[in-house]
Amino acid sequence: MENIEKQLTSVIRDIPDFPKPGIVFKDITPLLQHPELVQAAVERFVERLDGIDFDVIAGIESRGFLFGFLLAQRLNKPFIPIRKQGKLPFHCVSESYKLEYGQATIEMHEDAFPAGTKVLIHDDLLATGGTVVAASKLIEQLGAEVAAYCFVISLDFLQSAGRLTRFSEKIVSLVHYD
């Protein structure tokens, strides 16, 4: 598929003033109505992640589950869900953080993977980086290492990639908004 990034940009929808005034939400749900484009996005992730060594993929609730799980299946890697507080049924580690529009806590099962595991963290969007930094701290709590990050969208104008480089400098994004 030619110029996948341009095709992705054409179906990502802007929702002004969501979840609060002044924020323009980047909605990937229209993308999910195009299975061929979803498949092409997964294949582009595979291409861009070539040469990066990782053992598992951790997806951040909830949109990070979509491509994270598909990518894990495509690469035959385990998938680990990182969820909002109170949603996982077993013993968890947790991390609280600030969002651009509030505060939240995320959790992961304490037995998600053994110490020393190399983890690829996936989410749909890199905005301020608060959620993904919290996810990175969860990974480290379990004695694992953040091998890389991947996102469908990066809001580069927020300059958040710098918050992630202390965990890993390997950051893959398919669509960039300057």
The DSSP H or E segment spanning 121 is: strand 118-126
Among residues 61, 63, 83, 95, which one is catalytic?
63
Active site residue 74: no
SS3 91: coil
Burial class (CB within 10 angstroms; exposed 0-12, middle 13-18, buried 19+) of 75: middle
Active site residue 44: no
Among residues 43, 44, 48, 100, which one is catalytic?
100
Listed residue (64, 73, 9) closest to 46, CA to CA: 73
> Crossing angle for the helix pair 63-75 and 35-49, nearest 10 degrees?
60
Q: Could you give the dihedral angle defined by the CA atoms of residues 67, 23, 158 and 11, in that order, rounded to the nearest 10 degrees?
A: 40
Q: Which residues are catalytic?
A: 63, 100
